[in-house]
Structure 1
Amino acid sequence: MRGSLAIEAARPQWLAGLRAATAMTVPLIVGWVARRPELIWAGLGGWLTMLSDPGGPYPTRASAMGTFALMGAAATLAGGLAGLTPWAAIPALFAFAMICSLIRVHGDTAATIGVLALTMFCITEGSPAHLADSLVRAGMFVAGSFFAILLAVAVWPFRPYHPVRAAVAASWMAVGDLAAAAAKVASSPADAAAWESLVPLRRRARDALEDAREALAVARAGRHGETGRGLQLLVLYEILELLLGDLAALLEALRARAERHEPLPPRAGEALVEISRALEAIAEALVEEGSYALAAPRLEASGDSALLFSRVEGEIRQAVESVQALRSGGAGPSPPGALSFPEEAPSLRDAFAKASTELRHALRVALVATLAQFLATALRLERSYWVTVTVVLVLQPHAIATVRRALQRAGGTVIGGLIAALIARHVREPLALGAMLFGLAWIAVSVRRINYALFAALVTPVFVLLAETNAGGGHLTRIRILDTLLGGTLALVGAIALWPTRDLERMPALIAAVLRADRAYLDAVLHGKGPAEAVAARRRVGLATANAEAALQRLIAEAMPPARIEPLMALVAYGRRLSASITALGAAPPSSEYAARLEGILDALADAAQSGAPPPPVPPLDDLPAPEPAQRLARQLRVVQSALARLG
């Protein structure tokens, strides 16, 4: 319940909401004025196509929205025809649900397109039409979709590199936020909880870097030559990859000193504040016009952190030169060589692998949606597609996420139904009603990423009132609420009964993946394999840790016993801390014998995590001299060994 009421730390997307509301209401207004009720399908096409907009570079957006336009048109045609015969409707829904759910393997954008296309299939199957009418619907849907694409990509200023600059700037700002928070922690370094509060910020910085990486890849795809601006944006991305690793290593060194009750280097907090200001100035200079006083800070430190401060200072200085070249159009620094080769994208073949989460989810959606359609038909429910649409929108790959979405959908629909009833009673003028629906649609899309319950509460009146206008009655509010409750209940039962994903069983493999990624990163750093391979290895550590953290958060939400959760929390936390200590080894490498022992320990711990066997004891390393980063890594490996022993 607490999770369903949570407000995500995101800003309202007012421009996206305005575009979505415009794409929906313009066809509806034209249809009302011209007395062409079939234009409601163009409005629905515009609305759903706007929801499929993933944001980012224009080619990415146009490709995703165009793909949905074609899939949505096919769903409109196929659903309308399949619904004519009840015995054809059931297997057709099952097949289409499987296809739309399996494409989730291609990522979040593909998952969104699949859900929206399946939603369209459910709507038209619930309101069947013969071939001629279905073709008209599909044509109207495509027209509305391409009107939405025109609004999203062409009407607003078309600047090919602006989304890339925004993505790169956001990544610099995210790392700047991490440095600013670290500066506050440095003022009270003995507080362990304060150091832990930096973990979400570091994860957010990694996510922002992944967005920038994807934006750069799309912008550069198919280009035969690199433009000067494109090159400097690439340079800034690569510099930040290196800087984030060095900053994480620096923070880990400071934290280790605090844990040993040693004082931090003088002016460490002030230096972090200067780093934060420099990073934020770089981010602002990337996207804002005007003059900026860009300069690298002068950082002074001593001990094992001195070299890390020096590396961060040098990376900021190189970034300042790159930003100045980007703004002036002159020549800037050359890339530091930290960009790795693109990794192979997942394919549908991966979805059919043994114990595939995507395959189980696809079967779950297909079976529950088919059951919902069968029950709605048997019970002769009016607007029966509201039941199947609720199932499609509520069911998530993980049970705890389904419970949260069901509560949000049901609660939002009830509140939205009450709002619709009040509007229907007190607003009679069509112009005022249209303006109110436009405003609700605008706000709904704007806050969609903040809280889904709020989105459902705002969007329910829009579609209930549109449906009641076409139906000529005021009885559909109650039907919408009852259908939503039935669909939500079926989705909850399906999530719990059909192949529920058990994160507790998956955690050993996820922890092993983190440790093996740390081991690969250690190999890249110790053997000097170059910036590209080292950055790629550290990136894989971040992605593996993010997967483990997501599963851990779901376990915590399920109120698992603390004795099972505590060692998992330690393993996930230290999986990330290991990578920071490994980064520091690049500045102070140990002897080859000491390095070989560290590699052997990590291999043994990863094997133990994968097999569930008791981990072997960490052999003593005190007989060999080693720099502080290597000793710190050895201490952290002992913590990992202890947590694995408690987990077993």
Structure 2
Amino acid sequence: MGWLRALRDTTRSGMTVERARLEPLVALRSAFGLALVIAFGLLLLGPAAAASSAFGAFMAAVATFQKSWRPRPVLALAAGLTLSFSTFVGYLVGSSLTVLFLALLAVWTFASGLMWAAGPTAGMIASGNVAIMLVTVTLPTSVPQAAVHAAMIAAGGVVQALLIVLFPVRRWGAQRDALADALAAEADYARRLRHDPVAPFDPEPLMRARAAATVTRGQARRRPAELQGARGLAERVRPVLASLADPAVGAPAEGPARDRVRELLAASGSVLDAAARAIRHGEPVRLPAPALAVLNAPDTAELLQGAPLRAARRLAALLDDVLETAAPRSGRTADPGSSMLRPTLLAMVPEVLRAVRAELRPGSPVLRHAVRVTAVACAGYLIGHALPLGHAYWAPMTSVMVMRPDFSQTYSRAVARFGGTLVGVAAASAVVQLAHPGTYLSGLLAVVSAGLMYVLMRTGYAVTQVFVSAYVVFLLGMGGADLDQTVPDRVALTLVGGVLAMLGYALYPAWETPRLRTRLADWVAADGRYAAAVLGQYADPAGARRADVREALLAARAARIAWQDALERAAGEPVRHRGLSRAAADGAGEALAALGRGAMLLEAHLPDRAHEPVPGAAQLAEALRTATEAAAKAVRERRVPEWGGVRSLLATWEAPETGVLRGAAEQLLDSLEEVSAALRP
């Protein structure tokens, strides 16, 4: 993709308005908290302090809208308290000498850039705090006033956190949606298997549900019963569905047995959909009677034999468990000891430091982002002071807010911020010129603008920037700023900051395209370890650790998602593929997805502890592990992987249960060969 097309695509992406589910009650609560803070600030401390506290409440509310499984009050407190600290330190340094403040800005911005190593939520909060700090340090006029402003900013975060606790909206709503989406994805998968027995399945909904199920100790004690076990059952249902549908290990491709399999798959989709609806809305399960009749039909034993019959019976039992678990208020209580626990924020500090240290290496995208955003912010601050416009902080503020570690987001956000700022400032300016609002009316207009932004936050960055710009104009007007001077300065410096952000990425990029082969190699190795772990269970049913298979599966899923994300980011970059064409990437990805699916079919029929070891399974597992590790190295070195060792071993392998083991093992080899075929010039 060339630069012109990349710019056109990112511009279109930045200005796109998306259809999204709105959360008006959550937005109303956030706007009410902002109004409380502004009102008390105006009554007790005056317009300037009210503006500071409003920024704290504003950023605290924005943090609660981020995609994070942390408790929302914790996010609000973290955003408010860190902004309070940044503001106070920034004023102490900035009030004495501009050079010192520039040094502080460099340190603060570099640290915020590194926080992307801890995740997008941490990176967003850190970037927002730096951007808002550039505004809030200009409001106080003395050290005592700076302390008061910092305290008011912290109070804004506390108020938003308290409102979330006192007026919860749809408790556990995000976790309910994540689990319901996972069950709905399984239902769709079951229906697709009716027509395509080897249909692909994207594990992202299951991974998202797993992340949502990781809770703090306090959350584990309060978690509803219906959110405790359904995810694990969904994980177990998926391989059973695949093994029932696949002709290699399940029913024949045609005939009465295949017809019954199609009926079972359709019934499974109906049951899973019913469980998803019940969990999403917290209501009783509406049992689909015809579907249950099909799952429990007595003539299934006459139509299916062997492995397909075992899969059908296991599927019926698992779906019964899903329906029972999805029933709300079942009376079960959460056992914190059996939950996947998330560390507290204080306990995460060592983990964050380790993640940051891991990125302090040449070639790290996070490190390059930190260096890039630091240079751009400092350059914007200096340019803003050099231009005869005033309000120098708007250029670096824009740069910090729009810059992200990847190309597409940085460029699309830069375009969206300028377009949104232009519209928002024009609209707010018109209101100011026509109505001449006083202090209290300006505060009310700021609250209304912020409330509209909260409502429409998920519709696109350009839309939110319209109301953010209006909010800042009204809030600064409430604090006594000269709006006639603010409006043109803000538009001009926003353009400067956006252009600097785009130039910064172009001059010091962190392209994903050259790293595609590394991502693909990681997925090859992870899939190989997963398949080898499954075969290891057949080699030693009594002594093998079941947890090894689960850990290998999670690692393979993570590698697959990392590859898909990298491929999506690379698709929008103006960079040549450098040895991995889009067709080769797509073909290799499909082959590796099939490899993981073959391993999953073997996992669906794992022998019990009393089963005799399968001769040759250990040798095949070791050959597969060795071959995929060598293949990963070959992919990184731009060579085509070879699978001669696995092919020769499988040709002489005599498995007693040839129906399942032989069919799935041959699928594994076919997938490996397809990987090589996709990468062959």
TM-score, with length taken from structure 1 = 0.85
Matches within 5 A, 1:174-573: 174-182=181-189, 185-186=192-193, 189=196, 195=199, 199=202, 202-212=203-213, 214-215=214-215, 219-220=219-220, 233-247=227-241, 253=246, 265-266=258-259, 268-286=261-279, 288=281, 290-294=283-287, 297=292, 298-299=294-295, 302=304, 307-324=310-327, 327-329=329-331, 345=351, 347=354, 348-428=356-436, 437-469=446-478, 470-498=480-508, 500-528=509-537, 529-558=544-573, 564-573=581-590
**Which amino acid in structure 2 is aligned with residue 43 of structure 1?**
A
> Does the CA contact (< 8 Å) of 1:55 and 1:61 recur in 2?
no
Specify which of 596, 600, 605 is matched with residue 579 of structure 1. Answer: 596
Percent sequence identity over aligned pairs: 23
Cα distance in structure 2, aligned partners of 1:269 and 1:556: 37
Cα distance in structure 1, aligned partners of 2:339 and 2:304: 27
Task: Mark the structure with the bigger radius of gyration.
Answer: 2
Give 1:548 deviation, angstroms.
1.0
Cα distance in structure 2, aligned partners of 1:289 and 1:178: 19
Seen in structure 2, the aligned counterparts of structure 1 residues 28 and 547 have a Cα distance that, compared at 3 Å, is same
2:75 is the alignment partner of 1:49: no
Give 1:368 deviation, angstroms.
1.0
Give SS of 1:328's match: coil
> Does the CA contact (< 8 Å) of 1:56 and 1:215 recur in 2?
no
Specify which of 43, 46, 71 is matched with residue 60 of structure 1. Answer: 71
> Does the CA contact (< 8 Å) of 2:186 and 2:234 recur in 1?
no
Cα distance in structure 2, aligned partners of 1:181 and 1:353: 43
Give 1:147 deviation, angstroms.
0.9
What CA deviation, in whole Å up to 9, does each residue of 1:417-468 have, x standing for no partner? 2322333344456687665543432231233233111111222112123323
**Which amino acid in structure 2 is aligned with residue 501 of structure 1?**
A
2:628 is the alignment partner of 1:634: no
What CA deviation, in whole Å up to 9, does each residue of 1:346-377 have, x standing for no partner? 52322324433222211111111111111111
Q: For residue 32 of structure 2, what is the aligned residue in structure 1?
A: 22
Moved more, 626-635 or 425-434: 425-434
> Does the CA contact (< 8 Å) of 1:54 and 1:109 recur in 2?
no
**Which amino acid in structure 1 is aligned with residue 237 of structure 2?**
L
| Long gaps (5+) in structure 1 | 221-225
Moved more, 300-309 or 43-52: 300-309
What CA deviation, in whole Å up to 9, does each residue of 1:313-369 have, x standing for no partner? 332222333345x6231599x99x997999994523223244332222111111111
Cα distance in structure 1, aligned partners of 2:495 and 2:534: 55
Moved more, 142-151 or 609-618: 609-618
Give SS of 1:613's match: coil
Moved more, 64-73 or 370-379: 64-73
Give 1:153 deviation, angstroms.
2.4
Give 1:33 deviation, angstroms.
5.4
Cα distance in structure 1, aligned partners of 2:194 and 2:241: 17
2:87 is the alignment partner of 1:76: yes
Cα distance in structure 2, aligned partners of 1:490 and 1:560: 21
> Does the CA contact (< 8 Å) of 1:83 and 1:89 recur in 2?
yes
What CA deviation, in whole Å up to 9, does each residue of 1:478-497 have, x standing for no partner? 22221111000001111111
What CA deviation, in whole Å up to 9, does each residue of 1:520-547 have, x standing for no partner? 2123212224543322221221111111
> Does the CA contact (< 8 Å) of 1:254 and 1:305 recur in 2?
no
> Does the CA contact (< 8 Å) of 1:249 and 1:580 recur in 2?
no
Seen in structure 2, the aligned counterparts of structure 1 residues 30 and 606 have a Cα distance that, compared at 3 Å, is same
Give 1:175 deviation, angstroms.
2.7
**Which amino acid in structure 1 is aligned with residue 374 of structure 2?**
A
Cα distance in structure 2, aligned partners of 1:2 and 1:503: 21
What CA deviation, in whole Å up to 9, does each residue of 1:98-151 have, x standing for no partner? 222222222223212211221232223455643122112111111111111111
Seen in structure 2, the aligned counterparts of structure 1 residues 586 and 155 have a Cα distance that, compared at 3 Å, is closer
Give SS of 2:259's match: coil
> Does the CA contact (< 8 Å) of 1:176 and 1:279 recur in 2?
yes
Moved more, 50-59 or 612-621: 50-59
Moved more, 573-582 or 487-496: 573-582
| Long gaps (5+) in structure 2 | 1-10, 538-543, 607-613
Give 1:254 deviation, angstroms.
7.1
Moved more, 180-189 or 390-399: 180-189
Cα distance in structure 2, aligned partners of 1:310 and 1:340: 33
Cα distance in structure 2, aligned partners of 1:73 and 1:306: 63
Seen in structure 2, the aligned counterparts of structure 1 residues 236 and 40 have a Cα distance that, compared at 3 Å, is same
Give SS of 2:52's match: helix
> Does the CA contact (< 8 Å) of 2:226 and 2:329 recur in 1?
no
Give 1:291 deviation, angstroms.
3.7
Cα distance in structure 2, aligned partners of 1:72 and 1:111: 14
**Which amino acid in structure 2 is aligned with residue 209 of structure 1?**
R
**Which amino acid in structure 1 is aligned with residue 233 of structure 2?**
I
> Does the CA contact (< 8 Å) of 1:511 and 1:609 recur in 2?
yes
Give SS of 1:471's match: coil
> Does the CA contact (< 8 Å) of 2:209 and 2:231 recur in 1?
no
Cα distance in structure 1, aligned partners of 2:68 and 2:14: 31
Cα distance in structure 2, aligned partners of 1:466 and 1:174: 40
Seen in structure 2, the aligned counterparts of structure 1 residues 506 and 104 have a Cα distance that, compared at 3 Å, is same
TM-score, with length taken from structure 2 = 0.81
Seen in structure 2, the aligned counterparts of structure 1 residues 17 and 305 have a Cα distance that, compared at 3 Å, is farther
Moved more, 629-638 or 415-424: 415-424
Q: For residue 610 of structure 1, what is the aligned residue in structure 2?
A: 636
Give SS of 2:22's match: coil
Give 1:88 deviation, angstroms.
1.2
